Amino acid sequence: MSSEKKFSLLRGMLRTLGLSQEAADDVVNWITDLLGGDSGGDVARSPEFPYHLRDNFLSPAELSFLGVLRTTVNGRAVICSKVGLGDLFWVKSDDQSRFRIYTNKIDRKHVDFLVCDVATMRPLVGIELDDKSHQREDRRERDEFVNKVFQAAGLPLIHIQAKRAYSTTELGAMLAPHLGGKVESVAASAPTAQPVTIQSESPHCPKCGTAMVLRTAKSGANAGSQFWGCSNYPTCRSMQPYKG
C-alpha cells in the first residue's frame, strides 16, 4: 500500500474518532514531518516559521458590508469580525471523549461578524454574510451545523445575502430586536437610511474608515460628474475623486 493511501486511511480513522477534517490533516501532517525530519547528528534544527501576512484579512465584500454595519450600529455596539466558534462556545468536560468530539466539530469554524455589548463585550448576535459559495452542498451542510450550534447556545444568528447595495433601515430593523431596540431609532433617522450602494471596488473613508459610496454632483461646476462620498454623511463629509 502506498504512503498516500496509508495516510488517507489514517485520516478516515481519525474522522471516525470524531476529529474534524482540519484536525485530522494536522495529525497526518505532524506524522509526515516527524517521519521526514532530519535525525542525523546532534545539531538541533532551527525551528521554522514559514508564515506571511495575508494581503486581505477581509474580502472586499466583507469590508464593504462592515462599513454599512458600522454606519447602522453607529457606536451602539462593538463589531468583531471572523470570530472563531471555539472562542464563543464551550463543551462540558464531564465526559472527556464527548468533550473532544464536540470541540473538534467547531474547531476552525468562525462567524463572519459578531455584534457585542459596548460595556461588557457580551455577544448579542452573530452575522453571516452569504456569498455564492454558500450555495455549494458542503457549505450548506456547514451552515446548517453552525445554525444549530448558535441555536443550542441561545445566541441569535442572522444570515444576510451578499449584494451590491444594502439598506441601513432594513439592516437596523433586523438588528434592533437583538440590541434592545438601540439601532431602530438610529436606522430610521440616519441620513443614509436609503439603500446604500456598495461596490467591490469602493474605497474606505480616510477619516472614519466607513465604506464610501458613489454619488453624483447635482449642482455647481461639476454637476453630473461622479465622486466617492462617505456613507456616514453628513457626520463625515469626506470625498474622493471617482476615476471611471
32-83 confidence digits (pLDDT tens): 777 765 444 444 566 788 889 988 899 888 988 998 999 899 899 999 999 9
Query: At CA 69, angle to CA 193 and CA 172, rounded to 5?
Result: 50
The kind and range of the H/E element at 129 are strand 123-130
Whole domain around residue 137: which residue ranges? 60-191
Do 89 and 132 share a domain, yes or no? yes
14 in the same domain as 91: no
* Grid coordinates belonging to 23: 484536525
Task: Write down which residue in 191, 209, 225 finishes a domain.
Answer: 191
Is residue 51, in this structure, part of any structural domain at all?
no
- Coil, helix or strand at residue 223: coil
Please count the structural domains in the chain. Answer: 3
Do 122 and 205 lie in one domain? The reply is: no
What pLDDT score does 23 carry? 76
pLDDT at 192 > cutoff 50: no
Q: Do 220 and 148 fall within a single domain?
A: no
Same domain assignment for residues 18 and 128:
no
pTM equals 0.64
Q: Averaging pLDDT over each range in 15-19, 107-111, 231-235, which range is the top one? A: 107-111
52 is a domain residue = no
184 and 207 in a single domain? The answer is: no
Task: Name the pLDDT band for 193 (thresholds 50, 70, 90).
Answer: very low
Statement to judge: residues 121 and 206 lie in one domain: no
The verdict on residue 50 lying in a domain is: no
The model's pLDDT over 70-79, given as tens digits with 9 standing for 90+, comes to 989 989 999 9
Residue 76 or 244, more confident: 76
pLDDT of residue 220: 79
In a domain, 48, yes or no: no
Is 39 part of any domain? no
Does a structural domain hold residue 223?
A: yes
Residues 119 and 141 in one domain: yes
Contact 209, 222 (CB under 8 A): no
The answer to the question of residue 64 being in a domain is yes
Task: Note the pLDDT tens digit of each residue in 83-98.
Answer: 999 999 999 888 787 8
- The b-or-e profile of 43-73 (16+ CB within 10 A means b, else e) is eeeeeeeeeeeeeeebeebbbbbbbbbbbbb
Question: Is residue 140, in this structure, part of any structural domain at all?
Answer: yes
Do residues 206 and 234 make contact, with C-beta atoms less than 8 angstroms apart?
Answer: no
